[in-house]
Structure 1
Amino acid sequence: MLTGADLEVMDDAALGAAVRETDVFARTSPEHKLRLVMALQAQGHSVAMTGDGVNDAPALKRADAGIAMGMKGSEAAKEAADLVLADDNFASIAAAVREGRTVYDNIKKVISWTLPTNGGESMTVIVALLMGLSMPVTAVQILWINLITAVTLGLALAFEPTEPGTMRRPPRLRSAPILSGALVWHVVLVSGLFLAAVFGIFAYAMDRGYPLALAQTMAMNTLVVLEIFHLFFVRNLHGTSLTWAAVRGTRVIWLTVVSVTAAQFAITYVPLMQRIFGTQAVPLADGMLIVAVGVAFFALIEIEKQIRLGLRRG
C-alpha cells in the first residue's frame, strides 16, 4: 500500500514501477489519481476508473473507460465519465465487460463464417472460368445459396450466448484487428476445402455419367452442407466444437438449420423448384455421400483448430 504522501516524492519513473507492485493507493488527491491513470496507460494498459466526486473528474476524463456513479455521483463526475452506473453497483461493470466480449465474439463469428463461405463460393466460380470447365454451380443457384444461407445461417450467429471462460480470457490489445492473422489463415483454409469438396463432388457425379444438371445440384447441396457444418464450428471460436453443448446449439441455430435444410429439399425435389433452378433429384446414396463430405470437412477444421490452440497455449 502507498499513500498520497508517498506519491508526492516519486517521479514518473518511480511511480511507473510502483503501480506494477502496489495494490492499494490511499489518501490520494485528484492529481495523484490522474498520475496513476497516466502511469498505467504509459505501460500499455487500458485503464478503467470509477468515481463519484468532483475530485475524481480529471482521472475519469483521462481514463480509457471513466465510470461514474449514477445515484450518488456528482454532476461533474457524470459529465467527465464515459459510462454512468445507474445502480451504483460495481457488479454491473463486470456484466458490461461480459456483454461487450460476447458482442465482439459474435461479430468475429459472423465474419469468420461469412468470409470463408463466400470465398469458397467465389473460388469455385473463378477456378471453373479460368480452367474452362463446366460451372459446378449455376448463377441462379449461387444466388439461391446467398439469399437463403447468408440471411439465415450468418444472422443466427449474432444471437450466440456467451462462451464458457469468456471472463477468464485476458483482455485483447486495443490495437488488435478483427481480421487477425489467424482469421486470414482460416479464410484461406476453409475456402480451399470448399473448393476441393465442391469440385470433388462435381467430378464424381460427372465420372458416373450423371447429367450436368444433377452434378450441379449435388455441388450446390455440397456448398450448403459445408456451410451448415462450418456454422457449428464457428460457434466455438475459443474451445472445442465436439461437446454436447456445442452440438446442441441454440433455438435460433436449429431454427435456421432446419429452415435451410427444408429449403434445400424443396429446391432439390419439388418439381416446380426444379424447373426454376435447373435442379434434379439427388439419389439417397449420393445425398449421404454429401453429408459425409461435410463431416470430414468439420473434422479437418476442428483438428486444425485444436492443434493451433494447443501451440498457442504451449
Structure 2
Amino acid sequence: MAAPGLDINRWTQRAADAASSGERVLAFGMKTFADDHGTLTFDDVRSGITFLGIIGFIDPPRDEVASAIAQAHSASIDVKMITGDHAATALAIARQLDLALDPRALTGVEIEAMDDATLAANVRGTAVFARTSPEHKLRIVRALQSHGLTVAMTGDGVNDAPPLKQADVGVAMGIKGTAAAKEAAEMVLLDDNFASIVSAVREGRTVYDNIRKVITWEIPTNGGETLTVVLAIILGFALPMTATQILWINLVLSITLGLVLAFEPSEPGVMQRAPRRRDAPLLSPFLLWRVVIVSILLAIATLGIFFYTLDQGRGLEVARTMVVNMFVVGEIFYLFNVRYLHLTSFSWTGVLGTPLVLLSIAVLIALQLLFTFAPFMNRVFGSRPLTLVDGMMIIAVGATLMIVLELEKLLMRRLGWFSELRD
C-alpha cells in the first residue's frame, strides 16, 4: 500500500531512468514492529511499509569486453545477454557494448507466454533476455539449436547446470562457478572473463588451420614420391630414388618443416571468417585439389630433373641426388605457399616467415649439404656431390613451383570454385 502523498508515477519514472542508464535499482522501505513480535514473515511486509527512497549502482562491464564482442561479431559469432536484471538496465549495458545495432529485449514474463515455436521465431532477433529464470535459459538454448546453430552457454550457478548441459559448449565460471556448473560444462573459464572465450576461439581456429596445413603439406610429399616411383615401375625406367633415400626425405622433412607448421601463428583475418559448418571435413574440396595438383607438380619437377641429369650422362647416382634435393627444395617453397591457405604468400611476412620457420629451413639445408657432400653420407645413401649450377637450377624449379601454386590459388579465388577462398 502506498504511503499518503507518495507519487508512485514519479518514483517509477526515476527508477526507469536510472535503469535506462545501466544502473541496478534497489528500493528501500521500513516498518516498525513491537519488541515481542517474534518471527518475521512475508505477510508482515505486504503492507504498512514506509518508503525511504531508491538507490542506483553500476556494475560496469570490463573494458576489454566491448572489443571482444566486436571481434566475435567480425567472426560471425552472435552474442546474446541472458540476465536477471531489469530489461531497461540490460538494454543500456547492451548498447554500451554494441551487442547489436538496435538491441531488442525479451523478459521472462514474455518468454513464459510463448510456446516453443514462437520463442524459436523470436530468439535469433533478440539480443537481450531479461528477468530470466534457469528454465528460460534452457528454453533459449533449445530455441537457438532448433535453427541448427552451435550454441555456447556460460553460467555459474547450480540452476545453470541444465542449460550448460544442453548447450553444444557449456562454459562454467572458474572463480564464481559452483561445482555443479563446472561438472555440467565442457569447459571452465578460469578468469571469468568473456574476452578469454574470444581468445580461445582465435586459438582454436589457429590450431585447426595448422592441422590442415600440416596435412596439406605432408600428403603431397608422399603423393609425389609414390607417383614418381609408380610411373618408374609402370614405364620400366630406373627408380629415381632408392628406398633409403625416400626414408631420408620423409625423416628430414618431418622433423623440420612438418614440425614447424604446427606452431604457425594465426593467419591475418582469422577472426573475419565465418565459423565452419559442423559437417565440414578436415580435408575440404580445395585441400583435396591441392594435394592432387601439388603431388603431380612435384612428380613432374623431379622426373624432369631426373631425366635431364641422365641425358647429360652424369650417372644414376647423381640423378638420384638431384631428385632428392629437388623434393626437399620443392617442399621448402611449398611450405611458404601453404602457410597462408586463404591469402597470398607474396608478402614480406609470407616470404620471410617466422624465426622458427627460418631456423627449420637452416637446419634442413645443413642436413641436405651433409647428404650431398659428406663422404660417409654418400656411402650410406648412394648420393653424390653436386655443382653450384645444379643447386641454382633446383632452386629455380622450386621457385617456379611456388609461383604456379600462387597463381593457382589466385585463379581459384577469382573463379570462386571453392567456398573457403571466396571473399
Into which bin does the TM-score normalised by the smaller protein fall?
Answer: over 0.9
Distance 2:379 2:268 in 1: 47
Q: Deviations over 1:93-136 (max 9, x none)?
A: 11111111111111111111111111111111111111111111
Task: Tell me, in whole angstroms, the C-alpha distance in 2 between the residues paired with 1:207 and 1:40.
Answer: 67
TM-score normalised to structure 1 length: 0.96
Cα deviation 1:24-63 (Å, max 9, x = unaligned):
1111222211111111111111101111122222111100
Unaligned runs of 5+ in 2: 1-104
Percent of pairs with identical residues? 58
What letter is aligned with 2:308?
Answer: Y
Tell whether 2:318 aligns with 1:214: yes
Q: Deviation per CA, 1:159-207: give whole Å up to 9, x if none.
A: 1111121122111112111022111111100000011001111111122
Counterpart selection for 1:22 from 126, 130, 150: 126
Name the structure 1 match of 2:376.
Answer: 272
Deviation at 1:282, TM superposition (A): 1.6
Aligned to 2:200: 96
Match of 1:39 in 2: 143
Q: Which residue of structure 2 lines up, in the alignment, with residue 114 of structure 1? A: 218
Gaps of 5+ in 1: none
Supply the distance in 1 between the matched residues of 2:376 and 2:172 (Cα, whole angstroms). 62
Q: Distance in 1 between matches of 2:376 and 2:160?
A: 70
Deviations 1:210-244 (A, max 9, x none): 21111111111111111111111111112111111
Aligned-partner Cα distance in 2 for 1:299–1:97: 33
In the alignment, structure 1 residue 59 sits paired with structure 2 residue 169? no
| CA–CA separation in structure 1 for the residues paired with 2:116 and 2:413 | 39
C-alpha displacement of 1:270: 2.0
**Deviation, structure 1 residue 14:** 1.7
Q: What is the match of residue 205 of structure 1?
A: 309
Shift of 1:299: 0.7
Q: Which has the larger radius of gyration?
A: 2
Q: 1:194 aligns with which of 276, 291, 298?
A: 298
Bigger drift between 6-15 and 33-42 goes to 6-15
Q: Which amino acid aligns with 2:393?
A: L
Shift of 1:156: 0.9
Q: Return the alpha-carbon distance in structure 2 between the equivalents of residues 154 and 287 of structure 1.
A: 23
The answer for the alignment partner of 2:261 in structure 1 is: 157
Moved more, 112-121 or 280-289: 280-289
Partner secondary structure for residue 263 of structure 1: helix
- Partner of residue 143, structure 1: 247
**In 2: Cα distance, 1:117 partner to 1:13 partner:** 53
Q: Aligned AA for 2:330?
A: L
User: What is the CA–CA distance in structure 2 between the aligned matches of 1:128 and 1:295, rounded to whole Å?
Assistant: 25
Q: 1:166 aligns with which of 260, 270, 273?
A: 270
Please report the TM-score for the alignment, with normalisation by the length of structure 2: 0.72
Taking the aligned partners of 1:136 and 1:165, their CA distance within structure 2 comes to 42
**Tell me, what secondary structure is at the counterpart of 1:164?**
coil
CA distance in 2, matches of 1:73, 1:209: 75
Quick one: which amino acid aligns to residue 283 of structure 1?
A: T
Q: What is the deviation of 1:75?
A: 2.4
State how far apart, in whole Å, the 2-side matches of 1:218 and 1:307 are: 31
Paired residue for 1:232? 336
SS across alignment from 1:60: helix
Q: Please, which of 216, 220, 227 is the counterpart of residue 123 of structure 1? A: 227
> Are residues 1:299 and 2:299 paired?
no
- Give the ranges of 4+ consecutive aligned residues of structure 1 lying more than 4 Å apart after TM superposition: none
Distance across 2 between alignment mates of 1:118 and 1:46: 36
Deviation at 1:77, TM superposition (A): 1.7
The residue type paired with residue 48 of structure 1 is: A
2:293, 2:228 → 1: CA distance? 14
State the AA in 2 paired with 1:39: A
Secondary structure of the residue that 1:21 maps to in structure 2?
Answer: coil
Tell me which residue corresponds to 2:391: 287
> Cα deviations across residues 226-264 of structure 1 (Å, max 9, x unaligned)?
111111111111211111111111222111111111111
Cα RMSD after superposing both structures: 1.4
SS of match in other structure, 1:25? strand
Cα distance in 2 for residues equivalent to 1:223 and 1:84: 46
Q: Name the SS of the counterpart of 1:173 in structure 2.
A: coil
Letter of the aligned partner of 1:143 in structure 2?
L
